Amino acid sequence: MESLSSFEIWFVFFTRLLPVWTSLIIVFSALFYWRKHLGVIGHLCNSPIGLVGLFIVLFWVFGAIFADMIALFDPYEQSGMFRRKPPGTINTKVDLPYIFGTDTLGRDLFSRMIYGSQIVLLIAPAACLVAYVVGITLGLPAGYFGGRSDTILSFLANLVLAFPVILLFYLLVAPGVRETILPNIMAGVFFLFPIIFALIVIYSRFSERLNILIPSVITIIVVGAWLYSGLVFNADPLGWVAIDPNELNIFAAVVFATSPGVFRLVRGLTMDIKTRDYVAAAMTRGEGPFFVMIWEILPNARGPLIVDSCLRVGYVTILLGTLGFFGLGMEPESPDWGSMINQTRSYIRLVPTIVLPATLALASFVLGLNLLADGLREESLKD
C-alpha cells in the first residue's frame, strides 16, 4: 500500500492544523497587545512557563472547535482493508492519508484524537465548573459563619475525600449503577446549585432595588428551570438542551468527587480573608453577610481558585482517561482518549505507534494545564 514519508506526514499534520495555528497567532497577538488590561491573564506574558501552558491548552481548545475542518475521516468510520496500518498509509479509495495510522477496526487515529478533545473539553471543564459552584456555595457560608453547619459540611466533605478516588468512581459509574436513578438524583441535586448561587449573587447586590431584583430573579428561575429540565430529565420542551445518559453519569460522578476538595479550599480561604480589614470595613458600613461573602471575600480568593481550577481540570482529565481505559467511561465506540488507549494497547507489538496519539494527547493537555497553573501561581505571588 502507498504511504507517505516522514516529512510528508508532518507536513500534512501541520497543514491540517492551519485553523488552529491561525487562531493561536490571533489570540497571542491580542494577549500581548492588551496585556496591561487583562489582569492576571495579561501577567502571563512575563511567564515563559505560563505561556507554554496556555499555548498547549489553547491548541486543544481550538482543535476541538475546528475538529470538523481538521479531521480527514469520520471518527467512527471503519475500514476492514486498513486495519492497524502505520502512520502515513494512504487510503486509495479516497486518496487521503491516515496521518497517525489506524486502529484495529480501521478507524483513523488522527481524526479520533481530534474529536476526542471535544469530549474531554466538554466534560472536564464543565464538571469542574459545577463542582466549583457547589464548593463555593457551601464553602463560603461554612467558613464565614462556622458553627454546627460548618462541622456537618466539613465532616461530609472529609467522608467523601476519605474514599480512594478510583474506587469511588468505579462505584458511581459501574454498569449496574448506570441503570438506576442514582445518577439522575445526584445530577438533580448538583444542578440546583448554579441556580441557587445565581439567586444569591443577585440578592446580595440588589436586595434593596426591587425594580432590578424581581425581574432578575424571574429570569434566573425561568432559564434555570429550562436548563434543569433538559439536563436532568432530558425533557427540554424546545429540544435544545440534552445530555447523553453516560455523560450525565460521568458528569455527576466527577462533581461528587471534586466538590468536597473545592469546599475545603473555599472554606479555608474564607476563614482567612474574613479577618482582613476591608471585610471589617464592609461590615461596618452595614453590608449584609451575603454581600460580604460574594463581593468582598470571593473576589479576593480568585487567585488561588484560578490556579486550583487549572490543576483540577487536569486531574479530572486523568480520571476520565482512567475511566475510559477501564471501560467505564463513554460508549465503547467513543473516541475519548482513555477508550482509545484501552482499545489499541493490545496491538502495541504489531504497530508500536498505535497508542501514541491518544497517549500524547492526554499527557500534553494535562501538562499544559499544569504549566499554566504554575505560571498563574508565579504571577499571583508577585502581586
Q: What is the pLDDT along the chain (383 residues), one digit of tens a residue?
A: 678 888 999 999 999 999 999 999 999 999 998 888 877 788 888 889 999 999 999 999 999 999 999 999 999 988 888 888 889 999 888 888 999 999 988 999 999 999 999 988 888 899 999 999 999 999 999 999 988 999 999 999 998 888 887 777 777 776 666 667 777 788 889 999 999 999 999 999 898 888 999 999 999 999 999 988 888 887 777 777 777 777 788 888 889 889 999 999 999 999 999 999 889 898 888 888 999 999 999 999 988 898 899 899 999 898 888 888 877 767 778 888 988 988 888 888 888 889 999 999 999 999 999 999 998 887 776 65
Q: What pLDDT score was predicted for residue 383?
A: 57
Residues in a beta bridge with 97: 90
Asked whether residue 178 falls in the same domain as residue 274, the answer is: yes
Any domain includes 321: no
Q: What pLDDT score was predicted for residue 367?
A: 95
Asked whether residue 207 falls in the same domain as residue 252, the answer is: yes
Asked whether residue 287 falls in the same domain as residue 155, the answer is: yes
Asked whether residue 196 falls in the same domain as residue 136, the answer is: yes
Asked whether residue 148 falls in the same domain as residue 122, the answer is: yes
Q: Which domain holds residue 375?
A: 6-115+346-382
pTM: 0.89
Any domain includes 332: no
Last residue of a domain, one of 314, 330, 356: 314
Asked whether residue 195 falls in the same domain as residue 310, the answer is: yes
- Dig out the grid coordinates for 356 from the structure: 501514541
Any domain includes 341: no
Asked whether residue 111 falls in the same domain as residue 123, the answer is: no
Asked whether residue 297 falls in the same domain as residue 366, the answer is: no
Contact in structure between 113 and 357 (CB atoms under 8 Å): yes
Asked whether residue 151 falls in the same domain as residue 277, the answer is: yes
Asked whether residue 38 falls in the same domain as residue 144, the answer is: no
Distances (CA, A) of 120 to 37, 168, 206, 250, 362: 30, 20, 37, 12, 9
Any domain includes 270: yes
Asked whether residue 18 falls in the same domain as residue 98, the answer is: yes
Asked whether residue 149 falls in the same domain as residue 273, the answer is: yes
The strand ranges marked E within 140-263 are none
Domain count, the chain: 2
CA angle 18, 69, 78 (to 5 degrees): 125
